[in-house]
Amino acid sequence: MVVQPRPGGRAIYATLKEQILAGAYGSQGLLPSSRALALELGVSRTTVTAAYEQLAAEGFVAIRQGARPQVAGLAPSPAAPATAAPPPGPRLSAYAARLPGGPVRWQPSPARLIADFRYGDLAASDFPTLLWKRAVDAAIARRPDRLSYGDPQGAPDLRAALQAYLWRARGLRCENSQIVVVNGSQQGLDLCARLLLDPGDRVVLENPGYAMARHIFSSVGAEAIPVPVDAEGLRTEELEKVSARLAYVTPSHQFPLGGVLPVARRRALLDWARRQGAFVIEDDYDSEFRYDIAPIPPLHALAEEGDAAAPVIYLGTVSKTLSPTLRLGYLVLPPALTESFVVAKQLTDRHTAALEQAALASLLESGAYERHIRRLRRRNAERRALLIEALRRHFGNAIRIEGDAAGLHLLAWLDSLPAGAAEPLRAAALKRQIGIHPVAPLYAPGAPRPATLGLMMGYGALEPKRIERAVLALKAAVDELG
């Protein structure tokens, strides 16, 4: 039994422990007898005995009847060198060594901004709170008596609802058994990287492109092959020179430049993949939002036309339609890949949170999800129109807008400013409580970058009535730089 020293005894215990750890009694030295120490400190012998018993219970000393307590074989602490070198970092894996440094870490949005053009955020007021609450309540009410782990592939209800939705909304035909529910696109990409790539394997990435994908692929030791992008997306003619195991693309709305990959390039990409025996990851992250263009069927649908085992992995998410905080996404896999993905998903985290899966399934089944998307599309169309109009009015020819036909962001090029003006402009904008985000970090390291300043302007979280003020403040910041 662990004996708790009484007050007084605790101080004696703490001092003795500190002295033992500091090596004051050596690695096997003898401590004073309880009688001697009690006399020396002017406390009762019981107090000292309780302290010794606590130290013995924790393994610092050994106590034998009639003998002085003895330090219990602690390794002697090495004498500290006069100028102590910093301790070496912990020994981590090769994977850890490949992880990107600081800038990738999550950063909070500075508080009290008039507007932050950070891409990826949504307005909290756009979340269908009531619908979601009802769906979660209904899922709780349906809960069985026993709380068991769920299917790692994803709840069967949700997979069935997703299958029907993908066919209705995207013209994508698949079996439920090809769908794996994941914690957002990011987990889908992580599974692809770990299951399809070995260190040294080559992966084609759009340049500029989604940095979170680039980091995932580099973290498994793959070699990123940046392939340039133009106003129509990936320049597939460049693929002829490239061999790779995997290509990651955003054909419906190239991230970040916004091009829509034309059908000829889609065919070229699929032909390339088939010749290489490579897979193509189609990240369909924001195709629910398109404004002046007709719906574009996914690459997956085109590939399916000619081949049931098409080499396309389709990746979807609710991060743009509901909330990036839900961490809900889905993969549609070629049948031959499903088993490995499901096992890897199970080993990673058992399965995606069941209540959220059930809530999403019921929104999909009732049609509420698509009604919500239609509402959201109208709101984002309004934000987009206000933003474009304000940019044109205040900047005139000094701004070039690109990639605005779909999604929740556009690119604004300030061709009179060099790319190097990004930091001063960020500071000048922040002074006016505006958050801006240059596009330069989305270019692959070492690849050519544009000479002029481009801004990624996300508008999914903007309050429409603040857009005018925000653009005016941005104009003032640009003017300050001359």
Residue in 210, 272, 289, 330 binding ligand PLP, rule: CB under 6 A? 210
Nearer to ligand PLP, 60 or 248 (CB): 248
Report the 3 state secondary structure along the chain: CCCCCCCCHHHHHHHHHHHHHCCCCCCCCECCCHHHHHHHHCCCHHHHHHHHHHHHHCCCEECCCCCCCEECCCCCCCCCCCCCCCCCCCCCCHHHHHCCCHHHCCCCCCCCCCEECCCCCCCHHHCCHHHHHHHHHHHHHCCCCCCCCCCCCCCHHHHHHHHHHHHHHHCCCCCHHHEEEECHHHHHHHHHHHHHCCCCCEEEEEECCCHHHHHHHHHCCCEEEEEEEECCEECHHHHHHCCCCEEEECCCCCCCCCCCCCHHHHHHHHHHHHHHCCEEEEECCCCCCECCCCCCCCHHHHHHHHCCCCCEEEEEECCCCCCCCCCCEEEECCHHHHHHHHHHHHHHHCCCCHHHHHHHHHHHHHCHHHHHHHHHHHHHHHHHHHHHHHHHHHHHHHCEEECCCECCEEEEEEEEEEHHHHHHHHHHHHHCCEECCECHHHCCCCCCCCCEEEEEEECCCCCHHHHHHHHHHHHHHHHHHC
Q: How far is the CB of 286 from ligand PLP (least distance, A)?
A: 7
Residue in 250, 252, 254, 380 binding ligand PLP, rule: CB under 6 A? 250
Distance CA(452)–CA(460), nearest Å, equals: 25
Residue 117 lies near ligand PLP (rule: CB under 6 A)? no
Q: How far is the CB of 143 from ligand PLP (least distance, A)?
A: 26
Residue 324 lies near ligand PLP (rule: CB under 6 A)? yes
Nearer to ligand PLP, 157 or 206 (CB): 206
Cα separation values, 323 from 111, 217, 376, 468, Å? 20, 25, 12, 25
Residue 248 lies near ligand PLP (rule: CB under 6 A)? no
- Residue 3 burial (CB count, 10 A): 14
Distance CA(227)–CA(254), nearest Å, equals: 13
Residue in 329, 334, 403, 435 binding ligand PLP, rule: CB under 6 A? 329
Residue in 54, 163, 236, 317 binding ligand PLP, rule: CB under 6 A? 317
**Stretch of residues binding ligand PLP (CB under 6 A), selected from 15-23, 83-91, 183-191, 361-369:** 183-191
Nearer to ligand PLP, 54 or 317 (CB): 317
Burial label, 10 (beta-carbon count in 10 A; 0-12, 13-18, 19+): middle
Please work out the total of residues on this chain that contact ligand PLP, with binding judged by CB under 6 A.
13
Name which of residues 251 to 290 contact ligand PLP (CB under 6 A): 255, 283, 285
Nearer to ligand PLP, 47 or 186 (CB): 186
Residue in 120, 171, 438, 464 binding ligand PLP, rule: CB under 6 A? 120
**Stretch of residues binding ligand PLP (CB under 6 A), selected from 19-27, 317-325, 414-422, 426-434:** 317-325
Residue 236 lies near ligand PLP (rule: CB under 6 A)? no
**Stretch of residues binding ligand PLP (CB under 6 A), selected from 58-66, 124-132, 180-188, 447-455:** 180-188
**Stretch of residues binding ligand PLP (CB under 6 A), selected from 8-16, 149-157, 184-192, 221-229:** 184-192
Nearer to ligand PLP, 120 or 156 (CB): 120
Contact residues for 406 (Cβ-Cβ < 8 A; gap 6+) = 252, 253, 258, 260, 286, 287, 289, 290, 291, 293
Residue 186 lies near ligand PLP (rule: CB under 6 A)? yes
Nearer to ligand PLP, 44 or 323 (CB): 323
Nearer to ligand PLP, 156 or 324 (CB): 324
**Stretch of residues binding ligand PLP (CB under 6 A), selected from 41-49, 178-186, 290-298, 343-351:** 178-186
Nearer to ligand PLP, 163 or 317 (CB): 317
**Stretch of residues binding ligand PLP (CB under 6 A), selected from 38-46, 182-190, 367-375, 466-474:** 182-190
**Stretch of residues binding ligand PLP (CB under 6 A), selected from 179-187, 190-198, 341-349, 377-385:** 179-187
**Token pair in block for residue 395:** 């900047």
Nearer to ligand PLP, 185 or 352 (CB): 185
Residue in 154, 184, 208, 403 binding ligand PLP, rule: CB under 6 A? 184
Nearer to ligand PLP, 53 or 288 (CB): 288
Residue in 319, 321, 352, 357 binding ligand PLP, rule: CB under 6 A? 319
Nearer to ligand PLP, 121 or 157 (CB): 121
Pick the closest to residue 229 from 220, 221, 239 (CA basis).
239
Q: How far is the CB of 188 from ligand PLP (least distance, A)?
A: 8
Where on the chain is the footprint of ligand PLP (CB under 6 A)? 120, 184-186, 210, 250, 255, 283, 285, 317, 319, 324, 329
